[in-house]
Structure formats: structure tokens, C-alpha cells
């Protein structure tokens, strides 16, 4: 079985727009997905990326154009300028990685975290919000959060970011199929073509 390694941050609208589609593509081709949430705060400084606020005005303006196009095309609700963005992406990543370490499939949890940020006006850096989302996904939110905020939780996040950098990741979402990298949800058609080969 082919495994798609998927690096993403819960505060990326592009990760959100491609998240469910990736799962559908994997299912169609009998592939599995290794979900690896990360923080772009560890990726950008090493790879030349800039946080949104530091990008040129032209780049910021075009991002908004694309953020209006893609949700309409895909039929996915998305608030172009959500109330709680930007926000710290580390707590959500640590929570999801802790759930993964406990053997849970984190596809649903991660989608719920993304939806909370991009469609529900919730702050996914807030502890109570994280617990509520995890609980709604059938997980033990409080216990997960306590472990996630421990040294072990941070070590998992550090390891995820190091793995992403080793795979050439410089942005999110980032997909790897048989060693071949793909950047952006608009490359999912190419991801599917690689699986079909």
C-alpha cells in the first residue's frame, strides 16, 4: 500500500481546502495517509518563507483573490478573514500529534480543527476550544491536552517539523508520494496522477 505523507498546519486555509479531498483520493487508490501536523513557525525561518503580515502587499492581495475562488469552486465554506487568524498553530498541532501517538486516526480531528478556524470563528489556540473539539470527535480532550502541553507533546511537534524539513517541505499543505513532493492543495490532481502510476 502506498502511503502519502501529508504535512500541514491547522491554520492554513489551503490545508483546510484540500484536507478532505486528500482522504478521498487516497481511498480511491487504496493508499494510506500519514497525517503530520506541524508549525510553519519552524519551517519558514529555515526555508525562506514569510508570515502573512510580512509579505508584500501584492502577495497579500492576490492571496485574498485565490481564497475567494477556491472555496466557490470546491463548495467548501470558508471565511476569507476569520476572527481568530492569525493564531498560534502549535497547540492544535501538539494536540493532534498526541492523539496520533495514542493510536487515533487524526483525519477527522484535524478537519474539525481547521473548520473551527476557517468556518466557525473559533480560536484553535485556546485550550478550552481544543478540548471541546477533541471531545466532539469522541476523544478525551482534557487528557489529550494535558499530555500535548507536556515536554513530550513539544518533542513530537519538533520531530514532525524536522521530518518535514528533511522531506523538503517549505509550506503547507505538502504531500509526498514515493519520494516525490507536491506543494499546495491545487496539486492534488497531480498527487492522484502519481498514485495512479
Contact indicator for 148, 142 with CB cutoff of 8 Å: no
Rounded Cα–Cα distance for residues 69 and 160 (Å): 31
The tens-digit pLDDT sequence of the chain (197 residues) is 999 999 999 999 999 999 999 999 999 999 999 999 999 999 999 999 999 999 999 999 999 999 999 999 999 999 999 999 999 999 999 999 999 999 999 999 999 999 999 999 999 999 999 999 999 999 999 999 999 999 999 999 999 999 999 999 999 999 999 999 999 999 999 999 999 99
Greatest CA separation for the chain: 44
- C-alpha dihedral, 49 to 53 to 54 to 60, nearest 10°: 80
Q: Is the pTM higher than 0.95?
A: yes
Amino acid at each position: 500500500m502506498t502511503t502519502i505523507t501529508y504535512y500541514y498546519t491547522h491554520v492554513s486555509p489551503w490545508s483546510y481546502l484540500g484536507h478532505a479531498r486528500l482522504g478521498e483520493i487516497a481511498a480511491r487508490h487504496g493508499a494510506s495517509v500519514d497525517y503530520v501536523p506541524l508549525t510553519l513557525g519552524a519551517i519558514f525561518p529555515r526555508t525562506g518563507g514569510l508570515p502573512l503580515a510580512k509579505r508584500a502587499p501584492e502577495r497579500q492581495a492576490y492571496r485574498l483573490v485565490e481564497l475567494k475562488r477556491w472555496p466557490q469552486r470546491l463548495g467548501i465554506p470558508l471565511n476569507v478573514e476569520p476572527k481568530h487568524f492569525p493564531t498560534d498553530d502549535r497547540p492544535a498541532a501538539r494536540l493532534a500529534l498526541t492523539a496520533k501517538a495514542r493510536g487515533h486516526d487524526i483525519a477527522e480531528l484535524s478537519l474539525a480543527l481547521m473548520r473551527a478556524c476557517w468556518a466557525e470563528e473559533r480560536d484553535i489556540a485556546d485550550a478550552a476550544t481544543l478540548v471541546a473539539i477533541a471531545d466532539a470527535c469522541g476523544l478525551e480532550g482534557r487528557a489529550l491536552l494535558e499530555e500535548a502541553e507536556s515536554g513530550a507533546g513539544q518533542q513530537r511537534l519538533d520531530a514532525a517539523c524536522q521530518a518535514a524539513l528533511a522531506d523538503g517541505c517549505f509550506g503547507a499543505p505538502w504531500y509526498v508520494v514515493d519520494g516525490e513532493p507536491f506543494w499546495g492543495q491545487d496539486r492534488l490532481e497531480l498527487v492522484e496522477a502519481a498514485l495512479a502510476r
